[in-house]
Chains A and B, each alone.
Chain A
Amino acid sequence: MGRKGLDYEDLNENVKKVQYAVRGELYLRASELQKEGKRIIFTNVGNPHALGQKPLTFPRQVVALCQAPFLLDDPNVGLIFPADAIARAKHYLAMAPGGLGAYSDSRGIPGVRKEVAEFIQRRDGYPSDPELIYLTDGASKGVMQMLNAIIRNDRDGILVPVPQYPLYSAAISLFGGSLVPYYLDEEANWGLDLVNTRQSVAAARSNGITVRAMVIINPGNPTGQCLSEANLREILNFCYQENLVLLADEVYQQNVYQDERPFISARKVLFDMGGPISREVQLISFHTVSKGYWGECGQRGGYFEMTNIPPKTVDEIYKVASIALSPNVPGQIFMGLMMNPPKPGDISYLKFATESKSILDSLRRRAQIMTDGFNSCRNVVCNFTEGAMYSFPQIRLPQRAMDTARSAGKEPDVFYCLKLLEATGISTVPGSGFGQKEGVFHLRTTILPAEEDMPAIMSSFKKFNDSFMEQYQDYSKL
């Protein structure tokens, strides 16, 4: 028998359909160029520590002590660790019988889930049940688990914002569901357009799709917009009327750079609304240690909180979580620390607060620098980054540029981004990786390069862009 073991043709079709541009073509090309010795500025993924942001000190001290508990027995430990870090390490070790090396409860260490619940209660003013909070190896795993539970077949549709973080489109492809897009309004600073959303749902239903859930990303990725309380009410009412479970990706809740619309959780608004809606709308809320001012992407710490999910469904979700045995324990401790950080009066508070504020203030400044920088470029229009970690400028490509791109077999924004990469070393992700209106092109970059590098980066970009636009200018218009 001469059968080949596994050919490309024999792969699961859903796997082949998956796309994830964040580490796709542009990133792979950038990596190749880097190997050849070119200096690359990776702005393709929200990965703050990779661009020089330092970890907060206190969590690293605590986790190091938990990692090597023999340090706690040493009389000299107080020379290099502050007393509150030592106490906190003991607090987590007491919660985790067997320490960092044992599988915990499949939902995560109960004591840490309690800290998460307490954080949510303080943030929103409503009690939260630790039993309905599941820690995961990063928020992405939780998103995958929930979408996998919801999607039965290709007639199950999930409402996803366009532009979106392509984990959602990738997961929907992988699980064989249907992505039902709802377009954010670029002219209204990427605002929600419920009329458009209703139309999408109606169109999907007329095609035989059962729309099951709605994803919101607040603050938005790649778009950065922060939803207002009124928006959240609209969305929750919409989910109630249309019988949708709301998947609220709130991983950027610490990253807010304007004061008009501070972060409000979907859960808080739901409970504020009261009445039957507050008891019936099903909501899953996601958070992570990867973003905010913590930026601890490499730890893979996250959680999801379930609201109004029936007990039998929770049992099924528990069952799936149990197959993975447990989320990584150090990541769980990072989550506990984020939910329960040093308080005023604690020895480490001042340093923690200073480090945190410095990062947030810098992100706020960089959001502005980048927005202004893009807006100063020819044929580039950029909404302000109200939150999250990205800038998503619109690149108005001349017809000749689009034609040249297409004859090179490339989407126009991919073509532009490759040229940008080759000219400047700036590695971005083309807007097509996130979704955009037909014929309107963007790129996503992060606001994460070090502040001192920003002016040079923006001027390098402008130089490339303006000369690109000059090169491809459609002179027939003149």
Chain B
Amino acid sequence: MAATVAVENLNPKVLKCEYAVRGEIVIHAQRLQQQLQTQPGSLPFDEILYCNIGNPQSLGQQPVTFFREVLALCDHPYLLQRDEIKSLFSADSISRAKQILASIPGKATGAYSHSQGIKGLRDTIAAGITSRDGFPANADDIFLTDGASPGVHLMMQLLIRNEKDGILVPIPQYPLYSASIALHGGALVPYYLNESTGWGLEISDVKKQLEDARSKGIDVRALVVINPGNPTGQVLAEENQYDIVKFCKNEGLVLLADEVYQENIYVDNKKFHSFKKIVRSLGYGEEDLPLVSYQSVSKGYYGECGKRGGYMEITGFSAPVREQIYKIASVNLCSNISGQILASLIMNPPKAGDESYASYKAEKDGIIASLTRRAKSLEDAFNKLDGITCNEAEGAMYLFPQLSLPQKAIEAAKAANKAPDAFYALRLLESTGIVVVPGSGFGQVPGTWHFRCTILPQEEKIPAIISRFKVFHEAFMAEYHD
């Protein structure tokens, strides 16, 4: 009896989609890691260094204490009845937990909430957005989700009717977008970021790509912008953002603003401006431009990836469309409550005068300062090597160096049936234990090669990573020199 669920008869969209961040190189790394455990000494390195994924706490970054205090109290509210907690928890974490629990019907953190998330938490988030932007935000526009990614999938589901519906996506991009578009059967319409101008976005290029797609019969529905960029790390200049918003309005595009790295900025000459703020600064209201803004608890200085907390703020959509968005959200009932609470905490952290403020600020500043240093050390180290150039990481958590691979290396890769950057990344892994993601996983100008490396390994490990990398790279280039 033929198996009914076999690769031959799976949904072809599932077969088509790819996600390199946890793809082939990483699977291989996991095998090597097991090998290190079962046969110590069998490899030229003694640990695998995962630089493939923006997962800070897996590499030793500590969670923000105040947030965890509040979450623990909300997980086990019985604690609030015990006097002993005064010596274990800060007073403001206790009062914040009480306030949050009071906003949850029955204080039941184990109950499904409203499908958009607990109202009181959405109020807090809306207030945080308002305070950040200087323009009002509405709790009814907020949908709390299990991380930002489900919100991206929801919009792709809504927007993509068939293979002729296109979504403009930056190249290089975070491959959730390409995977989601493939899964939902749409067309990815690429617009290339300019590596020579620090991964700048030229509206004229985007317009060209849009018109090109339309001439091929693609109905372009939306524009994805990732700011700060992933994998590219650039922070958009404000003028650039104005151009983008006007472009979307003129072309009738939905603007999907992935802003999950909004609190990862490492340079003084750039600031994060939310697209919501930009839209409102231009005087555009609800009738003018549909905008979805994504935020997550996974990044920033909080780095709480495992909690799966995030939200999307939807503005500029008609009531019937909003109903559909709500309806789809309701099929999953709600996102996890602990993640919802955390989303409200990051948008309303301790303020000056609060008991926990000093320690909170020290933790936050410490993490950002360390990320800034690590971004710089790694960037400098890559730039010092022949055959590698690396743009600055103005924000986010990654570096995306370009490799000038010798022709012989490219041929060797071809013979091994691998993309040249994947070939390089595999050799890097096997020589050093360092795991990066080949640039082909993110998209790049054809004929150029890159890899994405996170800036997340602990600071003490960075010198060893740099020196091991240097040894490998120089040997590789020597092996394949023309």
Would you call A150 and B5 a contact (CB within 8 A)?
Answer: yes
CB<8 Å pairs between A and B, sample of 10: A7-B321, A60-B76, A101-B63, A102-B57, A102-B306, A103-B55, A282-B5, A290-B112, A298-B113, A320-B183
Contact with B along A213-242 (1 / 0, CB 8 A): 100000000000000000000000000100
User: For the complex, is B65 an interface residue (Cβ under 8 Å from A)?
Assistant: yes
Q: With a 10 A CB-CB cut-off, give which of B2, B7, B316, B331 has the most chain A CB atoms.
A: B331
Contact of B57 among A55, A98, A152, A174 (CB under 8 A): A98
B252 pairs with A101, CB closer than 8 A: no
Q: Which residues of A contact B324 (CB under 8 A)?
A: 8, 11, 15-16
Residues of B within 8 A of A48 (CB): 111
Given A6-B317, A20-B331, A76-B88: 5 more A-B contacts, CB < 8 Å: A7-B321, A50-B111, A60-B76, A141-B332, A316-B7
Contact of B253 among A5, A138, A141 (CB under 8 A): A5
CA of A14 to CA of B156, assembled, Å: 12
Number of A-B contacts (CB under 8 A): 297
Give complex CA distance A50, B107 in Å: 9
Q: Point out the residues of chain B lying under 8 angstroms from A175, CB to CB.
A: 11
- Which chain A positions have C-beta within 8 A of B105? 50
Q: Is the CB of B307 within 8 A of A312?
A: no
Question: In the complex where A20-B330, A45-B333, A57-B78 touch, is A102 in contact with B55 (Cβ < 8 A)?
Answer: yes
- CB of A424 within 8 Å of the partner chain: no
Query: A149, B11: Cβ atoms under 8 Å?
Result: yes
Q: Does A359 contact B (CB under 8 A)?
A: no
Min CB gap B328→A, angstroms: 6
B85 within 8 A of A: yes
B108 close to A (CB within 8 Å)? yes
In angstroms, how far is the closest chain B Cβ from the Cβ of A216? 16
**A5 contacts B252, CB within 8 Å?**
yes
B53 interface residue, CB < 8 Å from A?
A: yes
- A298 neighbours in B (Cβ, 8 Å): 108-113, 334, 336-338
In angstroms, Cα B52 to Cα A361, docked, is 50
Contact status A80-B82, CB under 8 Å: yes
Identify B65's interface contact among A15, A20, A70, A327, CB under 8 A.
A70
Let me know if B147 and A325 touch, CB within 8 A: yes
What are the residues of chain A within 8 A of B9 when measuring CB–CB?
A: 152, 212
B388 CB-CB contact with A under 8 Å: no
Distance A379 CA – B334 CA, assembled complex (angstroms) = 36
Once bound together, how far apart are the Cα atoms of A170 and B456, in whole Å? 41
**Which of B13-21, B390-398, B413-421, B428-436 interfaces with chain A?**
B13-21
Within 8 A of A (CB), among B43-61: 53, 55-60
Q: Does B289 lie within 8 Å of A5, measured CB to CB?
A: yes
CA distance A50 to B105 in the complex (A): 7
Query: Which of A257-265, A328-336, A391-399 contacts its partner?
Result: A328-336
Binds B, one of A61-69, A192-200, A345-353, A432-440: A61-69
Query: Which A269-325 residues have a C-beta within 8 angstroms of B?
Result: 276, 280, 282, 290, 295-300, 308-310, 312-313, 316, 319-320, 322-325
Q: In the complex, A299 Cα to B19 Cα: how many Å? A: 27
Within 8 Å by CB of B19, from A47, A57, A323, lies A323
Instruction: Give the contacts of B124-162 with A (CB-CB under 8 A).
Output: 146-147, 149-150, 157-161
Min distance, Cβ B225 to any Cβ of chain A, angstroms: 15
